[in-house]
Amino acid sequence: MTRPAARRVSLAPQVDHVDHADRDACCAPASAAVASSCCDGGCSASAPAPAVPAGPASAQTAHYAIANMDCPTEERLIRNGLRAFPRLARLDFDLMARRLVVHHHDADLDALTAALRGIGMRAERLPDDAPHAGTPAAPGWDARQKILLALSGLAALAAEALAWHGSGDHAPAVVLLSALSLAGTGWPTLRKGWTALRTRTLDIHFLMSLAVIGAIAIGQWPEAAMVIFLFTLAEMLESLSLDRVRHAVHALLKLAPDTVMRQTPAGEWQEAPASSAAPGDLIRVRAGERIALDGIVTDGASSVDQAPITGESMPVARHPGDAVYAGTVNGHGTLEVRVTAVSGDSTLARIVRLVEQAQRQRAPTQRFVDVFARYYTPAVVALAVLVAALPPLLTGAPFAGWLYKALVLLVIACPCALVISTPVAIVSGLTAAARRGILVKGGAFLEAGCRMTALAIDKTGTLTAGKPVVTQVRALAGAGHDDLLLLAASLEQGSDHPLAAAIRAAAPDAHSHLPVSAFAALPGRGVGGSIGGCAYHLGNRRLIEELGLLDADVETALQPIEGAAQSAVLLADETQVLGVIAIADALRPQAAQAVRRLRALGVATVMLSGDNRPTADRIGAEAAVDAVCADLLPEDKLRAVRRLQQAHGTVGMLGDGINDAPALAQADIGFAMGAAGSDAAIESADVALMDDDLGKVPAFIELSRATCRVLRQNIGAALAIKAVFFALALGGEATLWMAVFADVGASLLVVGNSLRLLRPR
């Protein structure tokens, strides 16, 4: 199947080939069709798609901030303007941040800067150590320009009013007012049009310049003035609208405060710039303050609102030893935090950097639109030439009338609304996902989400919490529930075994226990000890059998626990078994609901597990997944994902980002769970879920589908508006200023429609 373009997979290890035969009976179907697609059939494996090289290894880079680079029009102008510049390897554009990265081989950067400025770009070279994330350059609409634009508009309106009231288009007052309006706002457009002509770029400035010059040539002075005024006004409105999208990502970075209260070597607390703090420093965060840096709590307890990072709706408790992240909000208590990352490398800063990088990757729809626009504009220009020339030549019709229609076609031909429709929607979708704690690594993956029809899910640590918990306590011989847990937790107080930790966590008071004497560890069986002068034993079935205490009642209590593939821990005194404690890796609370939401979205779910069949079946039944695959090695999971792709098309894989590397690399979209604070998980996944909420997967699919709907709406609206005005222009019903309104309206429409994705859901 076709994989998303520009995919870079850094997961390791990746499986290049599989030598052994398929494992038998890997799937227990809850849905026969899904099960057969992931576990039956051939299993020949091929190497994963190789990573796309970033560029020539020896190339150097130079970074530029370009204040007036807003849309693909400027990108194409720069590409054409620098086409013949020597020693360039590649140009990377970040239109949302107005940044250009030049990959070169010892190029003359001063000459390159001059060349950029020579084609009208306000380019400023950034220092080599400049941060990747920062506030974009302002578009530069100062007070003088706004006043000039207002005066130009008044002059154009006055010229139109005089012409409509009988003075005519050629009256001296009308021509003078039109000329003043053109002088106020037309010169920048004409200059850009000349630059576009020199670089052989058929952009909007070239088309608008042709339209204005043509209108003047046939004596339409008021209309030429009104067209150039409306166009300049449109550029300003479009730039301001795009800034709303542009600043949405950078607003995240501003969440982290610029200063911190840092402890000095003398033990005093002093305010200092956050950028000056280093890993190992101790900072203090008071109640209600934002946390400036990633770190580990060393003292204090509080609740922290982690919504900017993980998208969690409720604050989470934080105690000594817990991690906290820059940009989150401390609740009611004062925390002392040991810094673990500098400000430029915090989880928040990495999120912003990765979203910026994702913006640079063109989504499939965007690549299609760019190619379409490349041929569409010259075709319409050729049509306009034919409209202007053929009727007068063939029928003797007045040349001025058909030239006017051709000029209207030129204005309508501008593909600005079309080419801007996709990047604005994709960036809005990426930003909306980041706000929800879903980090998407590129527009290709955001688009692929709307086509996803199956999701493979790892069991341990994904569907389940990844650590055992007490699921059931069955009291025997009249013992009380809390008494059983307290006795068991006291006996396990000194053990670091996972089952012991589960028992201690389930005790009525996890921080208190009864004194134990004569403690004895019984390897492979359990522990023993004396509490209050009474001897107790805590262990497995084997221990109870050796003590001769396994009777019919105990067997009856054990059967449902062992039948559900749970671990049974028995507590006994010298004469009888007091109770049975069932322990298992429990399903995450939100897992079943997330699976139901996925099913409602038409996405089949398959659980992939290396665990034994009974345990996998139990978890699969609790989660209500469509199919269960058990006893799988990593390469078996890879082949299961491949078979799902053959049966379903676009397939996702949800895992921890590392252990399931082969399957994640094979899947069309790899989801990593709980990526907050984990460099490896954030870097390796196509989509990183910043906390352990499975509900973010259906949320991602819903957002992906909403983004794809907006993309289709934007493209459809842009093309429909142009088609209508093409017909009006050929019929002689459209004017130049109407064409400008149509182009402006289409651009603002697609930007506004895309901004809907940023609304809270």
Cα–Cα distance list, 111 to 86, 130, 320, 397, 728 (Å):
10, 21, 56, 51, 47
Give the dihedral of Cα atoms 380, 381, 385, 390; nearest 10 deg: -10
Strand segments (E) across 418-561: 438-440, 452-458, 464-475, 517-522, 526-531, 534-539
Radius of gyration of the chain (CA): 34
Beta bridge partners of 585: 468
Strand segments (E) across 349-485: 438-440, 452-458, 464-475
Catalytic member of 94, 203, 458, 660: 458
Comparing CA positions, the residue from 450, 448, 451, 529 lying closest to residue 490 is 529
Question: Backbone phi, then psi, for 269, in 5-degree steps?
Answer: -105, 125
CA distance 87 to 84: 9
Cβ-proximal residues to 203 (8 Å cutoff; 6+ apart), any chain: 73, 76, 77, 192, 196
Quickly list H helices, 15-136: 32-39, 72-81, 109-118
CB atoms within 10 A of CB 683: 17
| Structure token digits, residue 650 | 């676009």
Packing angle of the helix pair 172-198, 221-253 (nearest 10 deg)? 50
Cβ-proximal residues to 164 (8 Å cutoff; 6+ apart), any chain: none
Cβ-proximal residues to 10 (8 Å cutoff; 6+ apart), any chain: 51, 683, 684
CA distance 350 to 132: 10
129 included as an active-site residue = no
Beta bridge partners of 520: 528
Beta bridge partners of 4: none
Cα–Cα distance list, 364 to 97, 100, 426, 603, 703 (Å):
21, 22, 11, 22, 17
Terminal CA-CA length for the chain: 33
CB atoms within 10 A of CB 295: 27
**In 3-state terms, what secondary structure has residue 51?**
coil
Starting at the edge strand found earlier in the chain, the sheet holding 534-539 runs: 464-475, 577-587, 567-572, 534-539, 526-531, 517-522
Strands 295-299 vs 302-305: parallel, antiparallel or unpaired: unpaired
Strands 329-330 vs 323-324: parallel, antiparallel or unpaired: unpaired
Residues annotated as catalytic (active site), given as ranges: 458
